[in-house]
């Protein structure tokens, strides 16, 4: 069976591959015609790599026993003809589990021991220490072995209360949230802190990342999960049980980890699962439908949502229907509607983002190439006028013209000092920008917050420290914007002067906007603020928890600043490459003019032949310019021709 989401993801993947191939072809053509400067080349390479490696993360968030793993099985793994993720009654996924594909690794399950929570390193740091993980090889062609290996994410340990407290699973102030205690007085805790599953599932291979999270107790104990991983997901699926509605623990997860996500109307899905529990043979279909609608309405009201933001379905019946090929049962499960919306909203937004990036990248490369072609055309026209003026002239006049051209070339070469002066100021401002976005700057701006978080005991003034720390970081972004403006203004003035003096066609590229990085910082701040309420004061007082929060914060801010730095570096390279290209084209033109005079001096018929050559070169440039416009048009047309697939109203047989 081909599901709505799978089909849309397949089309999205095929579109990405097609666009990547077209970008490579465009870059090769530009390089062949010497129209690809270093800046444009790197821009196209980055864009191609982005299309190749783009990831779409879907996070499934819920309390225990709401059917997360079953929904993952139904949407992504029904093709195996059985459950792959453990989905039996009770607690199954005991630790956060990521499913993705890395071609450099064999199919495997990697598990991080729960004891690593007693150490200060953040999850990001543990990812860089593969030897600390327990690895289980997977046979992706053997569903039994695969499912058996996945059972490991359900493994638990039984530890003393003090150990459970140190690990973050036992809270004296919230006894109702504590895990089970066995007859020996030992506390049940997960055996593993985090699980990474690497397998070449068709959807994972195309860039899908699935995050399966455990219940409230485990989510809250791992700050990096809630301040970094879940907020970065393109979609968060919050799952409830239709037979229980919204429980107290459900509401806790919603308020602390999902509702706080800003600007997420298109990336949050609330799923009322297990509607088959409401299928009652003593009730009419209309009565069952009314009951499901009532549950959806009550859920929407409790979570302060619109009624149409809650989807009802049965993951178990949807999986069963796919395995059996039962179209009627699949329709009754309502799973296709969820898959359809997941594909449309998640992939639709991603598609538009990549489409815009392609359009902007191709436009930049095309503009640079057209500037170079325009310069070449002007040089040819000037050379033709120059040579036409030699008709009927004697050798003395020709020698004088050669001397004049050589003098112009020497004067132009001496003018390189002014270009170097521009570059010197440019690089000074650029170094200041790089320092602002460096690690030392981040630590300096967050030093007060880090100190406050690491102070022992209750942290009653921590909210003020957070506000100050993030104000400092936003101030850094504003300083970067100011420096960008200074660099752009300086380059605009310098380029205008160079254009006047030497007939260049330089145009200062607009600097990358910093607004989205400020928005990213705002989102990180919101994700941390959930830990600053009175309900988390005891947890925040624990040194190991605060240390993890500090490290998670630094890792996320560093990632944001590094992204900003990368965009500024690309902008800088595009700007300097433009100048390098036009300087190179001018020197090349001087050499060609001197060479033409030499040929005319050496051969009486050289003048007419050289004029004919120039006419042919002009025609060739015209053809190249026309082909460049066609390639740009074809790229833009191809990028919009394959949009996010249309709505699928039924499951299509394979």
Q: How far is CA 292 from the centre of its chain?
A: 37
Q: What is the predicted pLDDT for the residue at 474?
A: 96
Sheet of 108-113, strands arranged across? 134-137, 108-113, 192-198, 97-100, 208-212, 56-61, 235-241, 268-273, 310-312
> Which residue's structure tokens are 């066995």?
182
Dihedral sign, CA of 86, 92, 93, 94? negative
Taking the C-alpha atoms of residue 268 and residue 467, their distance in angstroms, rounded to an integer, is 27
Q: What is the predicted pLDDT for the residue at 178?
A: 79
Are 174 and 110 in contact by the 8 Å Cβ rule? The answer is no
Are 362 and 635 in contact by the 8 Å Cβ rule? The answer is yes
Q: How far is CA 129 from the centre of its chain?
A: 23
Residue 308: partners with Cβ closer than 8 Å, 6 or more residues away: none
For 558, counting Cβ atoms within 10 Å of its Cβ (0-12 exposed, 13-18 middle, 19+ buried), the class is middle
Which pTM does this prediction carry? Answer: 0.78
Output DSSP code: residue 308: G
pLDDT along the chain (654 residues), means of 10: 68 90 94 90 92 89 87 88 77 80 92 90 86 93 89 90 85 75 89 92 86 70 74 88 87 80 65 90 86 91 87 94 93 91 82 89 91 89 83 75 85 75 82 93 92 83 90 96 92 88 85 92 84 69 79 89 93 86 86 81 69 89 93 87 44 30
> Which residue's structure tokens are 């910093």?
514
Pick from 540, 490, 496, 535: which is nearest to 511 by CA? 490
Taking the C-alpha atoms of residue 24 and residue 18, their distance in angstroms, rounded to an integer, is 10
Cα–Cα separations (whole angstroms), residue 589 to 254, 377, 379, 380, 599 = 67, 11, 7, 8, 15
Structure tokens at 362: 């191709």
Taking the C-alpha atoms of residue 238 and residue 249, their distance in angstroms, rounded to an integer, is 13
Query: In sequence order, what are the beta bridge partners of 58?
Result: 210, 235
**Given 3.30.465.10, 3.30.1330.10, 3.40.50.300, 3.10.510.20, which CATH number is that of 4-155+191-352?**
3.40.50.300
Cα–Cα separations (whole angstroms), residue 600 to 6, 403, 407, 588, 592 = 68, 14, 19, 18, 12
Taking the C-alpha atoms of residue 252 and residue 63, their distance in angstroms, rounded to an integer, is 9
Cα–Cα separations (whole angstroms), residue 16 to 7, 50, 351, 639 = 14, 9, 9, 9
- Three-state SS for 359-398 is HHHHHHHHHHHHHHHHHHHHHHHHHHHHHHCCCCCCHHHH
Are 211 and 97 in contact by the 8 Å Cβ rule? The answer is yes
Helices (H), 503-542: 515-529, 537-541
- Three-state SS for 473-489 is HHHHHHHHHHHHHHHHH
C-alpha torsion angle, residues 284, 285, 286, 287 (rounded to 10): 50
3-state secondary structure of 402: helix
- Three-state SS for 553-579 is HHHHHHHHHHHHHHHHHHHHHHHHHHH
DSSP string, 45-103: HHHHHHHHH--EEEEEE--TTSSHHHHHHHHHSGGGTS--S---SS----S-EEEE--T
Taking the C-alpha atoms of residue 485 and residue 501, their distance in angstroms, rounded to an integer, is 24
Dihedral sign, CA of 358, 364, 368, 370? positive
For helices 315-324 and 335-342, angle between their N-to-C axes, nearest 10 degrees: 100
3-state secondary structure of 12: helix
**Ranges in the chain annotated CATH 3.40.50.300:** 4-155+191-352
Q: What is the predicted pLDDT for the residue at 90?
A: 55
C-alpha torsion angle, residues 514, 519, 523, 524 (rounded to 10): 20
Structure tokens at 133: 């993980």
Taking the C-alpha atoms of residue 27 and residue 43, their distance in angstroms, rounded to an integer, is 10
Pick from 99, 101, 77: which is nearest to 1 by CA? 77
Sort strands 134-137 and 108-113 into parallel, antiparallel or unpaired.
Answer: antiparallel
For helices 38-53 and 543-602, angle between their N-to-C axes, nearest 10 degrees: 140
CA angle, corner 280, sides to 279 and 281, nearest 5?
A: 120
Taking the C-alpha atoms of residue 632 and residue 410, their distance in angstroms, rounded to an integer, is 38
Helices and strands (H, E) in the chain, number of each type: 25, 11
H/E stretch holding 166: helix 161-167
């Amino acid at each position: 069976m081909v599901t709505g989401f799978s089909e849309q993801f397949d089309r999205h993947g095929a579109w990405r591959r097609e666009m990547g191939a077209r970008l490579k072809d465009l870059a090769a053509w530009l390089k062949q015609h010497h129209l690809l400067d270093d800046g444009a080349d790197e821009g196209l390479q980055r864009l191609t790599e982005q299309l190749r490696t783009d990831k779409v993360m879907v996070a499934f968030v819920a309390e225990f026993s709401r059917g997360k793993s079953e929904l993952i099985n139904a949407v992504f793994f029904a093709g195996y003809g059985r459950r792959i993720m453990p989905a039996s009654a009770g607690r199954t996924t005991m630790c956060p589990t990521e499913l993705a594909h890395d071609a450099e690794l064999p199919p495997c399950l990697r598990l991080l021991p729960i004891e690593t929570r007693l150490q200060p390193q953040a999850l990001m740091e543990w990812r860089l220490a593969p030897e600390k993980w327990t690895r289980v090889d997977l046979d992706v062609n053997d569903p039994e072995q695969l499912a058996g290996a996945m059972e490991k994410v359900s493994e638990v340990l039984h530890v003393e209360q003090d150990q459970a407290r140190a690990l973050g699973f036992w809270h004296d102030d919230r006894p109702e949230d504590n895990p089970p205690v066995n007859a020996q007085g030992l506390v049940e805790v997960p055996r593993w802190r985090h699980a990474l599953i690497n397998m070449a599932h068709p959807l994972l291979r195309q860039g899908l990342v699935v995050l399966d999270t455990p219940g409230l107790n485990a989510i809250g104990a791992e700050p990096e999960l809630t301040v970094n991983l879940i907020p970065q997901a393109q979609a968060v699926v919050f799952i409830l049980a239709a037979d229980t509605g919204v429980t107290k623990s459900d509401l806790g997860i919603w308020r602390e980890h999902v509702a706080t996500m800003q600007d997420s109307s298109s990336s949050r899905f609330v799923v009322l699962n297990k509607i088959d529990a409401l299928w009652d043979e003593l009730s009419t279909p209309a009565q069952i439908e009314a009951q499901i609608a009532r549950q959806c309405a009550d859920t929407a009201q409790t979570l302060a949502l619109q009624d149409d933001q809650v989807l009802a379905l049965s993951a178990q019946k949807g999986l069963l229907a796919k395995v059996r090929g039962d179209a009627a049962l699949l329709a009754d499960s309502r799973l296709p509607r969820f898959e359809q919306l997941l594909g449309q909203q998640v992939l639709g937004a991603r598609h538009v983002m990549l489409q815009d990036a392609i359009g902007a990248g191709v436009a930049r490369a095309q503009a640079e190439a057209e500037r170079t072609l325009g310069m070449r055309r002007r040089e040819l026209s000037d050379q033709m006028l120059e040579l036409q003026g030699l008709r009927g002239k004697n050798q003395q006049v020709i020698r004088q013209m050669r001397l004049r051209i050589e003098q112009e070339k020497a004067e132009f070469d001496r003018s390189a000092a002014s270009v170097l002066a521009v570059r010197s100021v440019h690089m000074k401002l650029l170094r200041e920008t790089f320092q602002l976005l460096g690690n030392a700057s981040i630590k300096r701006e967050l030093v007060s917050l880090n100190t406050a978080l690491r102070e022992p005991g209750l942290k009653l003034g921590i909210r003020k420290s957070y506000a100050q720390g993030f104000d400092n970081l936003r101030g850094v972004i504003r300083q970067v914007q100011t420096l960008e403006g200074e660099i752009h203004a300086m380059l605009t003035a310098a380029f205008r002067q160079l254009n006047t003096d030497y007939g260049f066609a330089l145009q200062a590229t607009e600097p990358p906007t910093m607004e989205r990085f400020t928005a990213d910082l705002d989102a990180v701040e919101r994700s941390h603020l959930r830990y600053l309420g009175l309900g988390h004061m005891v947890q925040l007082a624990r040194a190991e928890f605060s240390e993890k929060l500090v490290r998670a914060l630094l890792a996320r801010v560093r990632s944001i600043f590094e992204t900003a730095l990368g965009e500024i570096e690309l902008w800088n390279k595009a700007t300097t490459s433009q100048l390098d290209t036009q300087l190179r084209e001018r020197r090349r033109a001087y050499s060609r003019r001197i060479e033409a005079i030499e040929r005319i001096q050496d051969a009486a018929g050289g003048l007419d032949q050289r004029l004919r050559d120039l006419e042919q070169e002009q025609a060739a440039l015209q053809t190249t310019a026309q082909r460049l416009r066609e390639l740009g048009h074809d790229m833009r047309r191809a990028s919009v021709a394959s949009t996010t697939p249309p709505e699928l109203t039924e499951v299509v047989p394979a």
